[in-house]
Structure 1
Amino acid sequence: MNFGKRVKEYRLKKDFTLKQLAEKSGISASMLSQIERDEKNPTLQVACQIAEGLNTTLSTLLEERKKEEVIVTRKEERLIYIDEKSMFQRHLLSPSFSMNEIEFLLNIMPANGQSSVFPPHKPGVTETVYVAKGKLQLTLGDGDFQEVLEEGDSVYYSADTTHHFKNLLDSPCEYYVIIDSSKSSK
């Protein structure tokens, strides 16, 4: 199933009108309608805002899998979201089913690239970031916190604020992210 159809399915399951989802996500109702009809492909930032508005994860909106005891995801089978504007890649490494409260991601940032500003998650959601390759700058809020992370460094933070990543090198940066929604206010 594609992203637009999943958005519409979740919106209807929550009994939201397009206007209600627009208010919750900060995305216009007309843009949401175009996304649901697959007329527009959202940027990563917009997709994250929609997921937050629906009180779910982006991974859940990208694909639904049957919950099983043991799940092996082969490299060629993993969900990969590529932001066409920035070429930022988001690889889902953990299973994607609607009740999964932990997301394990590999993000690949192009040389000298930067992410969009990610919207705040619900209160209680945390993120842990580990830089596997490169040099990454993390900014939380309106610059309230800014830190440069080098290969092997990690950071843990409450993700209920806007956050932004920037690659400080002329080569791709690879970093892992764990998003923990298990203690969020739903």
Structure 2
Amino acid sequence: MAVKERGNTLETGAQVITGQLGKTIQRLRKAYNLSLSDLAEQSGVAKSIISQIERNETNPTLATVWRLSQALDMTVERVLASSDDAPFVEKLTRADTPILLSEDGLVRLSIIGWIKTVEWLQYYDMDAAPGGELDSDGHQRGSVECLTVLKGTLEVEVGGVIETVKEGETVRYRCDRRHVIRNRTDAPARAFMVCLLKAAVLE
């Protein structure tokens, strides 16, 4: 697992989302009457990896979650959403906060938004280790992302345009196309990221 030096908190938090995800993947797979081999063939994810996810023995990358969600004809957000009714007042400790990792394992997204609003509003606490890259496909047309850097420096690339964002600065950009956030520095970076899905139809 990436950034192990940050201690058991990351590993514990990662297990929270893995536990929810494993149950959901297994439930959806059985609902579609798919075997592990069937889902592996349709998703391109190894059968052994799917089995480990369902048994809560691994923390999948964002790319793996996306491939499984596509094979199950579900959005990533719905796959990650918990089926339990949330209480009116909900408090999550740092260890309880669900975590996603980038494909390279160097960018960590802590999901601090309410899981039931993820289809139109998402917000994250992002930690990017040196050299980390979060490469995302476009969301729905009109979606906008806002990134505020709290520590360090990040680079945002959207549609061939590259913007450097330093500590204390905010950049807003269309995220209905491929967008990449990188940490090209030798120091860790931290940011607060909000994604408004279908916020407006931008011409």
Give the alignment's TM-score, normalised by structure 1. Answer: 0.72
Alpha-carbon RMSD: 3.6
Deviation string, structure 1 residues 49-97 (Cα, Å, up to 9, x no partner): 5557623427x51645523333222223211234584332111112223
**Partner amino acid, structure 1, of 2:120:** E
**Partner amino acid, structure 2, of 1:145:** V
**Partner amino acid, structure 2, of 1:43:** T
Whether 2:88 is the aligned partner of 1:74: answer no
- Conserved in 2, the CA contact under 8 Å of 1:131 and 1:152? yes
Structure-1 separation of matches of 2:185 and 2:125: 18
**Which ranges of structure 1 fall in alignment gaps of 5 or more residues?**
none
Structure-2 separation of matches of 1:17 and 1:125: 33
Structure-1 separation of matches of 2:33 and 2:116: 21
Whether 2:24 is the aligned partner of 1:6: answer yes
Aligned to 1:104: 123
Is the partner of 1:45 in helix, strand or coil? helix
Whether 2:77 is the aligned partner of 1:57: answer yes
Structure-2 separation of matches of 1:117 and 1:137: 12
1:155 shift after superposition: 1.5
Structure-1 separation of matches of 2:44 and 2:134: 21
Is the partner of 2:63 in helix, strand or coil? helix
Structure-2 separation of matches of 1:31 and 1:163: 24
Structure-1 separation of matches of 2:60 and 2:42: 12
Aligned to 1:86: 105
Aligned to 1:139: 157
- Conserved in 1, the CA contact under 8 Å of 2:81 and 2:116? no
Deviation string, structure 1 residues 143-183 (Cα, Å, up to 9, x no partner): x2211000111122221111111113211100111122254
Deviation string, structure 1 residues 111-147 (Cα, Å, up to 9, x no partner): 2x22242122122332111110010001124xx2211
CA change 1:34–1:101 in 2 (3 A) is farther
Residue of structure 2 aligned with 1:150, choices 154, 163, 166: 166
1:36 shift after superposition: 3.7
CA change 1:174–1:83 in 2 (3 A) is same
Structure-2 separation of matches of 1:162 and 1:124: 13
Identity %: 19
Task: State the number of aligned residues.
Answer: 174
Q: Which has the higher helix share?
A: 2
CA change 1:178–1:152 in 2 (3 A) is same
Is the partner of 2:65 in helix, strand or coil? helix
Give the alignment's TM-score, normalised by structure 2. Answer: 0.67
- Conserved in 1, the CA contact under 8 Å of 2:142 and 2:174? yes
- Conserved in 2, the CA contact under 8 Å of 1:117 and 1:163? yes
- Conserved in 2, the CA contact under 8 Å of 1:135 and 1:149? yes
Whether 2:191 is the aligned partner of 1:171: answer no
Aligned to 2:139: 121
Residue of structure 2 aligned with 1:159, choices 175, 184, 191: 175
1:5 shift after superposition: 3.7
